[in-house]
Amino acid sequence: MESAALFRLLGDEERLRLIRLLLDEPAGVCVCELVDTLRLPQYQISRQLGFLRHAGLVEGEKRGTWVYYRPCLRLPPLAAAVTEVLRDHLAGGQWDEDRERFRQRLKLRRSGVCVVGYEPGRPYRECIPLTEVDGSRGGTGG
């Protein structure tokens, strides 16, 4: 992947949010866990994951009903360096809120796998709590 293409790809906030979460759970994350965490519709998450997968930054593995996404194990040197920087420096505000919701959502797993899935008619699960982060209360998302 060319350098400019990598930075164009990572110039999208939704893709940055996805990459940041995937870096926290390298064993893999179900799409519905990302939907609930980021409070975005499933089609939007899937579309952004498609861009990341096509670029070789993430890979998917089918496990039963769900596909689990994780960062690619063999990233080109520049992509590997950039993702390490993202892991270390994307913090505060929205990033911490995402990570807190992500931790709460992962607690719903049984034996390390997602068992919740989607609720029909709801683009994401509003019941995943957002606890206080840095002394401020987050919004309702959406």
What is the pTM (predicted TM-score) of this model?
Answer: 0.78
Distance of alpha carbon 23 from alpha carbon 29, whole angstroms: 10
SS3 133: strand
**Which H/E stretch holds residue 52?**
helix 42-54
In tens, the pLDDT along 40-70 reads 998 999 999 999 999 889 999 888 777 899 9
In tens, the pLDDT along 80-96 reads 999 889 888 888 888 99
Domain positions in the chain = 3-106
> What is the CATH number that goes with domain 3-106?
1.10.10.10
